[in-house]
Amino acid sequence: MIDWLLDPFSDPILRRAALEVILLGVTGGLLGCWIIFYELSYGAESLAHSLFPGLVAAALLGIPILVGGAAGIVVGALAVALAGRVPSIGRDNAVAVVVTTLFGAGALLALSQDAPPGLGGLLFGDVLGVSDTDLLLAGGLALVVVVALRLLHVRLLVVGFDRSTARSLGASPAVADAALLVLLAAAILVAVQGLGNLLVVSVLVGPAATARLLADRMGAMMAWAVGLAVVAGLGGLLFSYHASTAVGASIALTTVALWVIAWTVRAARAVAWPTRRLLASEGS
């Protein structure tokens, strides 16, 4: 059993991939709890999909993917803001229309005759191909997220619990929202290179959603989310190695499996708890 767990990581490529998913797990676990708390899951998915044409354009032009992704997010945010100002559309519909349009535009660019091979990695990621620059970016992102969330912790809690009275307590809802969106955009830009455009949201939402089933306080929830994100990342790597499956999809599948297990355990406890109380009352 020990050999089954450790042998894959004797390969330097898998060791680098493991370090990448650990760093992204720390980032996704911490930031994901606030995404869940602020109900930004749809926004996270929208940001991830809206940057796709920027990623493809960067690959076609031969410029850094990070630059193209950043431009894609800016264009997507501006398009959503403009579309949301049309009264007959509505904000949610505007987001859906813009994201679908941008993702479709990225797909058309990826299918063009001039598109270089390997653009599928932009959709599903390539954790096994991480470079030193990717690791540095992931490490820097983890550090920034940890420091920023520590400094913003009280303000984020105040705004999240009651926006109407947050200003009287010295916390601005606009600042809290903007800070979260900036951190979310940065996390997506960095993580998309390893996990891909379609799967990046799994590491940002999945572990935090599972942790919410296991903890009621934000501190405990964040600890659970980081641990679950790391376990899902390493578990996905092991599953991919032994089953010869795609790494990004294996990590996403492991994340979902952990949520199913946590939900099942919680549901079983909810059913068993009244029974135990009834038996205890009858015994007394």
In a domain, 204, yes or no: yes
The number of beta carbons lying within 10 Å of the beta carbon of residue 2 is 6
In this structure, the chain runs to a length of: 284
Q: Angle at which helices 65-84 and 41-50 pack, to 10 degrees?
A: 120
Structural domains of the chain, count: 1
What does residue 153 show for φ and ψ, rounded to 5 degrees?
-55, -55
- Given this model, what pLDDT does residue 280 score? 55
pTM over 0.75: yes
d(CA 97, CA 83) in angstroms, rounded, equals 9
In a domain, 275, yes or no: no
In a domain, 276, yes or no: no
Q: Given this model, what pLDDT does residue 131 score?
A: 81
pLDDT of residue 114: 67
Domain for residue 90, yes or no? Answer: yes
Q: Report pLDDT for 199.
A: 79
String of b and e for 22-57 (b: at least 16 CB within 10 Å)? bbbbbbbbbbbbbbbbbebbebbbbbbbbbbbbbbb
DSSP state at residue 75: H
User: What is the mean pLDDT for each group of 10 consecutive residues in the chain (284 residues)?
Assistant: 75 88 91 90 80 83 81 79 68 77 82 66 76 85 90 89 81 84 84 78 91 91 94 92 86 93 86 58 54
Residue 283 lies in a domain: no
pLDDT at position 203 is 87
CB atoms under 10 Å from CB of 123, counted, come to 18
Question: Is 54:103 a contact under the CB 8 Å cutoff?
Answer: no
- Within a domain: 40: yes
pLDDT, residue 96, reads 80
The CATH number of whichever domain residue 101 belongs to comes to 1.10.3470.10
Q: Are 46 and 64 in contact (CB under 8 A)?
A: no
The CA distance from 30 to 26, in Å, is 6
Tell me whether residue 279 is in a domain: no
For residues 25 and 258, the answer to whether their CB atoms sit within 8 Å is no
**Structure tokens that stand for 275 in this block:** 């029974």
Domain limits at 54? 2-270
Q: Is 277 part of a structural domain of the chain?
A: no
